[in-house]
Amino acid sequence: MKKIALHWQILIALVLSVPFGLFFGEDGIVDLTGVFDFMGRIFLNALKMIVVPLIISAIITGVSNISSEKGFARMGLKTILYYLTTSFVAILTGLILVNLFKPGIISGIPAKDVLALTSLTAEQMTALEGKGTNEIFAIFLRMVPPNIFKAASDGQMLGLITFSLIFGFFIRKLSENYKAVQLNFWNGIYDIMLGITNLVMRIAPLGVLGLVALTVSETGFDSIVPLLKFALIVVVALLFHVFVSTSLLLYTVGKMKPVVFMKIMSKALLTAFSTSSSSATLPETIEGVTRAGVPKRVSSFVLPLGATINMDGTALYECVAAMFIAQAYGLEIGFGMQLTIVLIALLTSIGVAGVPSASLVAIVIILKAIGLPDAALGLILVVDRPLDMLRTAVNVWSDSCGAAIIAATEEL
């Protein structure tokens, strides 16, 4: 029998997960939520297990393999420029749509009065407490962790990235014999990590089935309906960013057909969709762009950085969500406030971790900055998870396009 390609297997799992979640949830025919939870968790654990050594070895090999200091600075600048530009374009797309369609106003009345507010659980409240504008400084502080091992065990990727960048940079300064040992060692670790990624991917369909079925069984569909307009605007803006903004860039600068590239990246995109974590998807993103022909020198530098600091989908979502909540609360939203929202969305999308629901913390920062209570976040909690799945896929898509585009310009 012909073997079904892995991305098809994942897609089938994704489709099946909806009826599974609906029929085998807590109130379903048989309660299989324990099984779903186990399947999803083991897949996520396996992915997370790879992430720290992968990020470290990818960046170290990426930096130390760049031949000249000028080359390093050039690629670094291009990468940052791409990240900032696409995130900004994403935010603007969201801003325009949310201003045009005003999802926070229902038949002329602020939605807060129409919708029953979903209040935050005590656990969610404590997690969000004290995350004011100071959090922005905290983001920069995280770039220099006092203890890299703690940073690794806490999943503080930003700190690990800085350390690995510096480490790789100094490998290039070593005398020839030490340098050769270091390069061989780190290149070896990197290849091992990619090998383990391939292994983990074999259980992806089961993992996806578990993760999504559990989400469906917990969220259901009914609660989403009142927030449909908001969700729809986020979805349309995200799709516009994928199929128009970044695709145009990929086609013109990256010299690649977006549809073909998307097909190659499908495994990574589907995994991003089902795990809602760009960090966890990183191994597959690297594997995908390598198959698309992006040289290791570029992918191992651009992608680990991107998984943490380039989040177009997140930036867009933060902006639309904050605007929606402000509209729903009947706030007067002038130019100054919109500018604040745009800037904080841009900054926090750089700082938030690539893990599920990371945007929520960033949205709280924005809400505080514009004078709204944390509890206002309750308005969007119901739809957050499905939108998280989509925005994470967009984050990964933009990272991948970045790798392809930078590779194309490096070859010039």
**Interacting residues toward ligand ASP by CB under 6 A:** 276-278, 311, 314, 352, 354-359, 388, 391-392, 395
Nearer to ligand ASP, 333 or 363 (CB): 363
Distance set, CA 266 to CA 197, 393, 397 (Å): 16, 10, 9
Q: Smallest distance, Å, CB 318 to ligand ASP?
A: 8
Q: Smallest distance, Å, CB 390 to ligand ASP?
A: 10
Question: What residues contact residue 118 under an 8 Å CB cut-off, 6+ apart?
Answer: 378, 379, 381, 382
Q: Smallest distance, Å, CB 175 to ligand ASP?
A: 41
On whether the CB atoms of residues 205 and 13 are closer than 8 A, the answer is: yes
Task: Produce one character per residue of 10-32: b if its CB has 16 or more CB atoms within 10 Å, e if not.
Answer: bbebbeebeebbbebbeeeeeeb
Residue 303 has φ and ψ, to the nearest 5°, of -75, -45
Nearer to ligand ASP, 9 or 278 (CB): 278
Q: Smallest distance, Å, CB 392 to ligand ASP?
A: 4
Q: Smallest distance, Å, CB 334 to ligand ASP?
A: 26
Nearer to ligand ASP, 183 or 365 (CB): 365
Nearer to ligand ASP, 331 or 355 (CB): 355
Residue 401 has φ and ψ, to the nearest 5°, of -60, -40
Nearer to ligand ASP, 171 or 204 (CB): 204
Instruction: Tell how many helices (H) and how many strands (E) occur in the chain.
Output: 20, 2
Residue 110 has φ and ψ, to the nearest 5°, of -55, 135
Q: Smallest distance, Å, CB 302 to ligand ASP?
A: 16
Q: Smallest distance, Å, CB 317 to ligand ASP?
A: 6
Residue 106 has φ and ψ, to the nearest 5°, of -110, 120
Distance set, CA 204 to CA 35, 76, 364 (Å): 15, 33, 33
Nearer to ligand ASP, 219 or 357 (CB): 357
Nearer to ligand ASP, 32 or 322 (CB): 322
Nearer to ligand ASP, 164 or 271 (CB): 271
Q: Smallest distance, Å, CB 191 to ligand ASP?
A: 25
Number of CB atoms found within 10 A of residue 221's CB: 10
Nearer to ligand ASP, 213 or 389 (CB): 389
Spell out the SS3 assignment of 252-308: HCCCCCHHHHHHHCHHHHHHHHHHCCHHHHHHHHHHHHHHCCCCHHHHHHHHHHHHH
Q: Smallest distance, Å, CB 405 to ligand ASP?
A: 19
Spell out the SS3 assignment of 70-110: HHHHHHHHHHHHHHHHHHHHHHHHHHHHHHHHCCCEECCEE
Distance set, CA 375 to CA 129, 359, 365 (Å): 11, 15, 12
Reading the block at residue 294, the tokens are 């992006």
